[in-house]
Amino acid sequence: MYFNVTNLGTIIMKFEKSSDNLILTLRVYITDKPGFLGKLLTSIGSMGGNIGDVKLVKRAGRNNLREVEIYVSDQEHIEQILRSVGEIDGIQIDTISDAVLDLHKGGKIQMSSKITIADASEVRRIYTPGVAQVCRAIQNDPSAFYEYTYVQNCVAIVTNGTAVLGLGNIGARAGMPVMEGKSVLLHQLVGLSGVPILIESTDIDTIVDTIVNISSSFGAIKLEDFAAPDCFEIERRLIERLEMPIMHDDQHGTAVVTLAALMNATKYTGDLLKNMVVGIIGLGAAGTGIASLLKSYGVKQMLGFDLSENAMKRLEALGGEPSDLKGVMSRANVVVATTGVPGLIRPDMIRPRQIILALSNPNPEIHPEDAIDAGAAFAADGRGVNNALAFPGLFKGALNVTAKKFTSRMKIAAATTIASFANSDRQELVPALMNPDVHEAVTKSVERAAFESGAVRYHEETD
């Protein structure tokens, strides 16, 4: 939101006192003479502001209106910078805004037409009476539905907002910006349409029935930010009732990228992942999804710890061994932590040659450098283990072959492909998110795995 600046104190109060790690856009009128822009930037820098883009907005008489992007740490930091800039002669603050909120104004996505209508004859073809021909074609051959509508390229991104990012149960509407972000990634990375669906309920029956009743409008269902343990039951029931690709991304997208990271970590240390003892600390949606996929991959011995007794029972049902924190750290060769508890793993818990993935964001269970100093062979945090490396290609591949479901083989194929694109010279765990070759390759590998595992509609199931 922009604020007209007449009093710096008023502006400062517009930002919540809890705000931190903000990206601000500062608009200022600067006297159009040498040295004044330099004074502005020097003032910001002297107050510890990290300067991003500087743009000329317009020339206004003897002044230039410029936008300066500034990274600040907290409320006090904002105040210091604004007061410093406000004291400079020849520079007048116009407006200040939160650059992230500005970017989201009006939302990040829209429904748009692929066809441009130039005259009435085209209206008759895309609408009445011509469209009746297409309706009859689908009525006579239901499979034509996928050929003559956008459904085969459309994913429902469904949430009730009970487990949003690191924010927790903030509700479906507050979670909408995350769903829009997923839509943007699907479109940009693999050309799919992602449609956010908000469900204002925590009742499992209501959620499942709602999704089932709208499922014909979509080619696949992406469950997002549903809290554990409900997420497991919701996904299970939907898979039973619907013959289409359905995936809870917090479980399986995260698991795929974690498996890719472990493939590379063990390669760099010269170990074989399948023969190692793997420990999972935190058995919520992500931890349970990781445990499940590692078992499918062939990991023979897996330990796990969670404060929830039901979570431990889920691990046991997957073939894992319940333990405690001390037991996991003392026995596991590979430790994956998804607890959301910063500093949970102390350096004195680390054993020589352990591989540690502390995946909680923004603050990991242990910082990688601390784990290495304590004797770990390899350590990383969750900054690069982004499920956006997995879900675009998984959904694109499944939709391209009209898959009935996601199989373990499809997920492992995606993980193997992601791992293959990491730069081994730099000991990368996973490749860069915005590399289009990665998503194209994941799509193709998922297509092949869908056929091989019998997930395509006209193939017998083998998985």
User: For residue 115, is it within any domain?
Assistant: no
Question: What per-residue confidence (pLDDT) applies to 385?
Answer: 87
Query: Cis omega (within 30 of 0) on the bond before 362?
Result: yes
If phi > 0 it is left, if psi is from -120 to 50 it is alpha, else beta; for residue 388 that is: alpha
Indicate the residue among 244, 265, 287 that finishes a domain: 244
Q: Which tokens in the block code for residue 88? A: 């400079």
* C-alpha closest to that of 195 among 69, 70, 256, 111: 111
Same domain, 21 and 99: yes
Question: What per-residue confidence (pLDDT) applies to 293?
Answer: 98
Which among 29, 182, 396, 404 is annotated as catalytic?
A: 182
User: For residue 303, is it within any domain?
Assistant: yes
Same domain, 39 and 15: yes
Angstrom distance (rounded) from CA 176 to CA 160: 9
Report the CATH number at residue 158.
3.40.50.10380
Question: What per-residue confidence (pLDDT) applies to 100?
Answer: 84
Same domain, 63 and 194: no
Indicate the residue among 211, 244, 277 that finishes a domain: 244
Indicate the residue among 244, 274, 303 that finishes a domain: 244
**pTM of the predicted model, to two decimals?**
0.86
Same domain, 233 and 265: no
Same domain, 38 and 77: yes
The alpha carbon of residue 183 and the mean position of all alpha carbons in its chain are separated, in whole angstroms, by 10
**Known catalytic membership, residue 55:** no
Same domain, 318 and 419: yes
**Secondary structure (3-state) at 197:** strand
Which residues 6+ apart lie within 8 Å of 419 measured at CB? 259, 260, 261, 263, 264, 430
Same domain, 209 and 263: no
User: For residue 199, is it within any domain?
Assistant: yes
Total tally of structural domains belonging to the chain: 3
Instruction: Map tokens 């994913």 to a residue.
Output: 155
Same domain, 226 and 87: no
| Greatest CA separation for the chain | 77
For the chain, residues with pLDDT lower than 50 are: 1-7, 17-19, 459-463
β-sheet with 301-305: strand ranges across:
321-322, 301-305, 277-281, 334-337, 355-358, 378-381
Question: What per-residue confidence (pLDDT) applies to 9?
Answer: 53
Same domain, 463 and 360: yes
Angstrom distance (rounded) from CA 121 to CA 11: 55
Which among 14, 17, 33, 127 is annotated as catalytic?
A: 127
- Asked whether the CA dihedral 354, 358, 364, 365 is positive or negative, the reply is negative
Q: Are the CB atoms for 64 and 29 separated by under 8 Å?
A: yes
**Known catalytic membership, residue 127:** yes
Report the CATH number at residue 326.
3.40.50.720
Same domain, 232 and 294: no
Residue numbers of the domain that contains 151: 120-244
Question: What per-residue confidence (pLDDT) applies to 22?
Answer: 83
Q: Which tokens in the block code for residue 136? A: 């009859």
Query: Cis omega (within 30 of 0) on the bond before 129?
Result: yes
Report angle CA 335, 339, 344 to the nearest 5 degrees: 75
User: For residue 112, is it within any domain?
Assistant: no
Same domain, 171 and 286: no
Same domain, 31 and 144: no
What letter would DSSP give residue 21? Answer: E
Cα-flanking dihedrals φ and ψ of residue 285, to 5°?
Answer: -60, -50
